[in-house]
Amino acid sequence: MTEYKIYYRKEAFIQSVINDAFTFGIMFALFYLNHMFCGGKGIINIIIGFFILCEAVAVAKRQYKTIPEMKEELARLESAEAAKLENNSARVTLKR
């Protein structure tokens, strides 16, 4: 049986702003610390940029849906899983 992970996240506008400010603050801090303590080496900036790019790609792959869309998707997945189980049980019955 296939398992799906569904995360429900309700975020207010102010929470979103704080989250974004924290994220960009951390990115700024990484570049600033590189400049202060590592002499602003380019390779470290490239590594930091690579990790930021990887996270951006991961976020872009996530699917965001409204609650009604999610309910429809869950109903579709449940019916597909039930049909799959019915087909497997029919095959077992035919083989006997």
Q: Is pTM beyond 0.85 here?
A: no
Q: In this model, does residue 1 exceed pLDDT 70? A: no
What per-residue confidence (pLDDT) applies to 22?
Answer: 92
CA–CA distances in Å: residue 94 to residues 38, 89, 90: 70, 9, 6
pLDDT grade for 15, boundaries at 50, 70 and 90 = confident
Would you say residue 17 has pLDDT above 60? yes
Banded pLDDT at 92 (limits 50, 70, 90): very low
Q: Where do the structural domains in the chain lie, given as residue ranges? A: 11-62, 65-96
User: Looking at the predicted structure, is the pLDDT value of residue 93 above 80?
Assistant: no
Query: What average pLDDT is seen over the chain?
Result: 78
Q: Of residues 87 and 39, which shows the higher confidence score?
A: 39
Surface-to-core class of residue 31, CB atoms within 10 Å of its CB (0-12 exposed, 13-18 middle, 19+ buried): middle
